[in-house]
Structures are given as C-alpha cells and as structure tokens.
Amino acid sequence: MLAIKYNLRSLFVRRLTAFATLGGVALVTFVLAGALMLAAGAERAMASGGREDVAVVLRSGSDSELASSIDVQALGTLRAAPGVAAPGGEPSVSPELVSVVALPKSDGSGLSNLTVRGVAERAFALRPNLSIVSGRLPAPGTNEAIVGRKIVGNFHGLEVASDGSGGEVLLGKNRPVRVVGVFQAPGDSAESELWVDLDAARSALGRSGLASSVRVGLASGADLAEFRDAVEGDKRLGLDVQSEADFLESQASGLASFIRVLGSLVSVMFALAAMLGAAITMHGAVASRAREIGTLRALGFSRGKILSGFLLESCALTLGGALLGVGLALPLGWVEISMMNQASWSEVVFGFEPSLRVLLSALGLGAAMGLAGGVAPAVRAAWLRPLEALRA
C-alpha cells in the first residue's frame, strides 16, 4: 500500500477539480438521503404506533377504512367473540366512522381532503398513546371535536383559541362541529385527522347505523388468531381482521415505497453523472502524475499497491462527498411536509426521519461511485510502464 497521505494530499493539490467532484457526489447523496429519510418519516408518522393487541375489523375485501362499511348489527357478534378484552365488564369494542371531507385550506390554496373520524368514548381507551396537548377532550354526544396536532391550522377553522373557544368546521349542511382540543398520537396517522362524536358524524354524513371499521381491544396479542378465526370464520359477517400494527403499516407502505422507489431511481441516475465526474477527476490525476507513478514503480511499489492507492484516493473523494451530502440532509429532520396519501385519499403530514440505514445507504452509494469511477484510471496508473512514464 502506498502511504495514504500521498493520495489524500494529492486531492488537496487539485483543489478545484476535487471540490467539483465532491460537490456532485454530495448532491447525489443528498437526494438519496432525503428520499430515504422522507420514506422512513412517512412510515414512522403513520405506522409505528400500531399495537399488536388491538384488532382492526374491516369489511371483507376492503383495503382501507374509507372503502369499508360495517353494519352495527355485527357489533354484537364482535363483542361476544373470544379473546376480546373486557375491562370493567364492558367489551372493548369501538366502532369508528371514517370519511374525507373537502375543506378550504387556510393558506388559500383551495380545497383539500381532510380525514374525519367519528368515534365513541371507547376509542380513547384503545389508544393509550393519544393525549390532549391543548384544550380538552370533547364531551361525548355533543358536536365537539378535537384535531390532530399535525394539521392544526392547516385548514380553515381547525384551531383552538387561547380562551378555549374553538374554530368551527361544517361537516354537512347546518352541521357544524366545534374544535375544543388538539391531540397527539405519536406514530399514528390519526395525528392528521379531525375527530368528532360518532353519532354527530353519522348524522352529518348520512350514515346512520354504519361504521367504517371496528377496533377491538384484545386480552393480549396472542389472542388475535383466535379472534380472527372466530370472526372471519363466520361467513355471514363478511369481515376481515388484522392487528392494528399490520393495518397501519399497510396504509403507509404505498406512500413510503412510492417515495423510496422514486428517490432511489432518481439518485441512481444522478449517480451515473457524478460517477463520471469522479472518473474525470481521477483520470486527470493519473495523467498528470505519470512521472510520479513511474518513480514509485521504479522504487519497487507493485502494481497492486498503485491500484489500491488510486482506488483509495477515488473512494476518499466520493465518500467525503457522501458524508457532506448526508450532513446537509440531516437538518431536513426539522422540516415537515404535507402529502396526499392515495390509500386514504387525504392529506397526511410527516417529516424526514434520519436513521442509521439512511447513513449507510448514502455511504454505500458514495463508495460505489468512487469504486466505479476510479477503477479505470487506477488500472491505467497501475499498468503504466515505469520507463515510459519517467520519460513523459
């Protein structure tokens, strides 16, 4: 191996061209890291809060709560099903009505879809991670509503004033609901929803006697199979059962993989250009150092040592760029964006989520660019004939 210092210092000698390559690689890894962080953020915001001991019941064949509709008559069967937890003697079963309403955005950009969830009191017990961050819980059976912390202020009327008087949102003709509180529920897309009373939602949306989904608290996660067999086994019900964790993940996976695939595709194409940039730099470095390389060979350094030395130089260049790119991407962690999730036809808000996986992927791409771009010049350097090189 050559002295590492020799290769590293030679990068410094050619500052301008080394910097240009570094910048190109940094930009590519910035794009990749940004996309991966965003996909991870989508998954974390929407899916990480799902529980194994809560079952989500949908109509058979429906892949989202929006497309599902369950008659309340099925609730009796669900309450009596095996495995259902019953704290205080009351079975832990929560019918929920989910819909999307078009509301004016507060930034004046027109209408956008907001998910509205009608819930009974039981819904809160099934979500222990849900808590009020300002205002208060709605009184049951009234037109009071609470809003997820991610969308507070995004839509016209979705806010709570400091004196406790909230904004009003029209769910239907003459059917206003009044926002009395803001809630958080980390890792659940509910943070991008408006929650109203179940009966108020039913009457405003004209869906009496219906629920979109039913959440069922189980005695333990191990009871899921037994509960599922009992419910899905009853063909007359026509219902599907899955754990809340699986359900939330299935709702998030479409959006997350869309971002991930698109981001990776774009950065791989970008990487091609940046890799050529690295190749140009290394090619120039080898060409202008022919005499130095000849001297090294004459001094007895083997071809392998020259080869690895130049590959190392190339990788140091691109890895440096990759680190810079990741470093620039990290502050994105403070940014939150709002995107439409096709699974729910409504907006969800999420941020960029830094993780070790993101760092490793970006560094991997950087190293790959360095190796791919550096291999031809390094081979050229290693196979220079010492005598000819010295005469150059």
Partner 1 sequence: MIGGTGISLGRIALRNVTRNKARFVMTLLAVAVSVLIYMTLDSAKRSWDGAKEVSRQDRLVTRHKITFVLSLPKRYVARLANAKRADGSPLVESVTYAVWFGGREPNHEHEFFQSLAVDADTYFDVYDEVTLSEQALSDFQSNLDAAIIGQGLARKLGLKVGDRVTLESPIYPSSSASGGEPWSFRVAGIYGSRSRAVDTQSFLFRYERLNEALAGTSRDQVGWLVSRTPPGADPQETARAVDALYADADVQTLTQDERAFVSGFLGMVSTVLDVVTLLSLAILVIVLLVLANAMGLSVRERAREYASLKALGFGARDVMRLILLEGVFLSLIGVAIGAALSMCVIDLGVGRFFEENLTQFFPVFEVRPETLAGCAVLSLLLGVLAAAAPAWSAARAGVGVALKRVA
- Footprint on this chain of partner 1 (rule: CB under 8 A): 13-14, 16-17, 20-21, 23-24, 27-28, 30-31, 59-63, 66-68, 99-102, 111-113, 171-173, 205-206, 235-236, 238, 266, 269-270, 272-274, 276-277, 279-281, 283-284, 287-288, 337-340, 342, 345, 347
C-alpha to C-alpha distance for 392 and 377, rounded to whole angstroms: 17
- Torsion angle of alpha carbons 295, 296, 297, 301, nearest 10°? 160
Return the number of the residue (132 or 316) whose C-beta is nearest partner 1.
316
- Torsion angle of alpha carbons 94, 99, 101, 105, nearest 10°? 60
By three-state DSSP, how is residue 379 classified?
Answer: helix
Question: What's the min distance (Å) between Cβ of 22 and partner 1?
Answer: 9
Question: What's the min distance (Å) between Cβ of 317 and partner 1?
Answer: 11
Structure tokens belonging to residue 140: 């049951």
Return the number of the residue (69 or 308) whose C-beta is nearest partner 1.
69
User: Could you tell me if 273 and 368 are in contact, meaning their C-beta atoms sit under 8 angstroms apart?
Assistant: no
Question: What's the min distance (Å) between Cβ of 19 and partner 1?
Answer: 9
Return the number of the residue (96 or 347) whose C-beta is nearest partner 1.
347
Question: What's the min distance (Å) between Cβ of 191 and partner 1?
Answer: 18
Question: What's the min distance (Å) between Cβ of 157 and partner 1?
Answer: 14
Structure tokens belonging to residue 224: 């899921």
Return the number of the residue (165 or 342) whose C-beta is nearest partner 1.
342
Return the number of the residue (16 or 299) whose C-beta is nearest partner 1.
16
Length of the chain measured in residues? 392
Which residues contact residue 260 at a Cβ distance below 8 angstroms, ignoring those fewer than 6 apart?
Answer: 35, 36, 39
Question: What's the min distance (Å) between Cβ of 276 and partner 1?
Answer: 4
Return the number of the residue (61 or 300) whose C-beta is nearest partner 1.
61
Strand partners, 58: 240
Identify the sign of the CA torsion 382, 388, 391, 392: negative
By three-state DSSP, how is residue 260 classified?
Answer: helix
Return the number of the residue (162 or 208) whose C-beta is nearest partner 1.
208
By three-state DSSP, how is residue 196 classified?
Answer: strand
Q: At what angle do helices 244-288 and 356-382 cross, to 10 degrees?
A: 20
Question: What's the min distance (Å) between Cβ of 337 and partner 1?
Answer: 7
